[in-house]
């Protein structure tokens, strides 16, 4: 068994609050450790990392906490992008790239080192592994479980929940439409619009697995509603973006508090996969024409987004945010988690 890992980890939390895995450098080991220190469960995001980088961050987290934690892995999709659509989108991005003094990146497809990460997690197990964008094969889940790891699958419909149950998942993260960042749908064919409360009821009516609630949870009141709806724990994502431990860029943190950003939208503009972000110029100009091509569009826009962060250009940056983004606080992570827990 891995450190602190017993079957039914969600039942053993001192505080029923989870720090969401937010890829792209946001979910740092320090953020996860701070959530643990408050009695909750911290997560690392392995998305966009190599297996070696994931292992290095796990090591850093282990040096910061002796409590259980989780690691999130992206499930790859098949390469079904239209080359002509990608070429047309690259031409649309040319002006933004030139303005920022960079070139668009290559439209690469890849599996995000999926199998290498699974091998590393089997060789050196962690207490929990969660999956996003799909469900692992039953044999992949079983192999992690034999290593002493609990497997959680993120779902956005009752049908996805049933598929994860059939595959052998121990628990589910139920992501409502209010969630910031990428929608965790198994297939990115249409926007998910089911609010968290309704989705919790639908999933719990379909499967009997323990569930974590995610999407629009920013305070004790929203967390309490999720727990009353049958969740064992509430997941905080956007609520932690502005904390000192968050690895979000300074321009991202600042935008969440700026009055000029008044709403969120779901867009493919930055990555080719639907994700909820603050509505800015880049979304308005490109969102309606971005092809459904992930991770190709993610790689194409990466140099533009990196340059925008360096230039503090909030109108060109991917400002991932859930619907409750105004509640994001600059308080330390442990205080945010403790504050939510105190009100439950």
- Summarize pLDDT for 139-150 with one digit per residue, the tens: 999 999 999 999
| Residue 19 backbone class (left: φ over 0; alpha: ψ -120 to 50; beta: rest) | beta
Residue closest to 335 by CA, chosen among 176, 229, 220? 220
- ∠ at Cα 184 (116, 33), nearest 5°? 65
344 touches 227 (CB < 8 A): yes
CB 191 within 8 A of CB 275: no
Find out whether 238 and 218 touch, Cβ atoms under 8 Å. Answer: yes
Read off the pLDDT of residues 38-76 as tens digits, 9 standing for 90 and up: 999 999 999 999 999 999 999 999 999 999 999 999 999
Beta strands in 183-249 (DSSP E): 211-214, 233-236
Q: How remote is the C-alpha of 53 from its chain's centroid? A: 18
pTM across the whole model: 0.96
Phi, psi of 226 (to 5 degrees): -65, -40
Rounded Cα–Cα distance for residues 251 and 63 (Å): 29
Residue 156 and residue 200: Cα distance in Å, rounded? 10
What does the pLDDT average to over 86-90? 98
In tens, the pLDDT along 131-185 reads 999 999 999 999 999 999 999 999 999 999 999 999 999 999 999 999 999 999 9
pLDDT (tens digit, 9 = 90+) per residue, 258-290?
A: 999 999 999 999 999 999 999 999 999 999 999
CA 89 to chain CA centroid, nearest Å: 25
Tell me the pLDDT band of 2, cut-offs 50, 70 and 90: very low
> What confidence tier does 128 reach under pLDDT thresholds 50, 70, 90?
very high
- Mean pLDDT over 13-36 rounds to 98
| Residue 129 zone, left/alpha/beta (φ > 0; ψ -120 to 50; rest) | beta
User: DSSP 3-state helix, strand, coil percentages of the chain (rounded to 5)?
Assistant: 40, 15, 45
Residue 5: per-residue pLDDT: 39
Q: What is the pLDDT of residue 8?
A: 86
DSSP run (H or E) holding 52: helix 51-64
Strand partners, 71: 44, 129
Question: Could you tell me which residues are beta bridge partners of residue 142?
Answer: none
């Amino acid at each position: 068994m891995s450190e602190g890992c017993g079957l039914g980890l969600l039942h053993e939390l001192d505080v029923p609050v989870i720090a969401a895995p937010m890829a792209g450098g946001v979910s740092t080991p320090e953020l996860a450790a701070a959530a643990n220190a408050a009695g909750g469960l911290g997560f690392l995001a392995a998305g966009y990392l190599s297996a070696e980088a994931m292992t290095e961050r796990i090591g850093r987290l282990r040096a910061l906490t002796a409590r259980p934690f989780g690691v999130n892995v992206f499930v790859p999709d098949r390469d079904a992008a239209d080359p002509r659509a990608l070429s047309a989108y690259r031409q649309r991005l040319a002006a933004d790239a030139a303005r920022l003094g960079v070139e668009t990146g290559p439209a690469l497809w890849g599996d995000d080192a999926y199998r290498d990460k699974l091998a590393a997690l089997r060789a050196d197990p962690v207490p929990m592994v969660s999956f996003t964008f799909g469900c692992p094969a039953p044999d992949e889940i079983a192999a992690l479980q034999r290593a002493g790891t609990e497997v959680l699958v993120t779902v956005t419909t009752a049908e996805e929940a049933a598929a994860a149950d059939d595959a052998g998942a121990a628990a589910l993260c139920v992501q409502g439409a209010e969630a910031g960042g990428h929608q965790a749908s198994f297939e990115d064919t249409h926007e998910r619009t089911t609010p968290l409360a309704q989705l919790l009821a639908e999933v719990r009516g379909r499967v009997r697995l323990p569930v974590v609630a995610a999407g629009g949870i920013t305070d004790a009141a929203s967390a309490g509603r999720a727990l009353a709806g049958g969740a064992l724990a509430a997941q905080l994502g956007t609520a932690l973006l502005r904390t000192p431990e968050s690895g979000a860029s300074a321009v991202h943190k600042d935008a969440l508090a700026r009055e000029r950003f008044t709403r969120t939208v779901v867009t493919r503009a930055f990555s080719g996969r639907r994700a909820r972000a603050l509505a800015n110029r880049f979304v308005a100009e490109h969102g309606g024409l971005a092809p459904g091509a992930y991770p190709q569009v993610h790689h194409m826009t990466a140099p533009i987004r990196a340059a925008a962060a360096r230039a503090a250009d909030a109108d060109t940056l991917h400002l991932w945010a859930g619907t409750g983004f105004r509640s994001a606080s600059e308080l330390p992570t442990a205080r945010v988690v403790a504050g939510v827990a105190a009100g439950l």
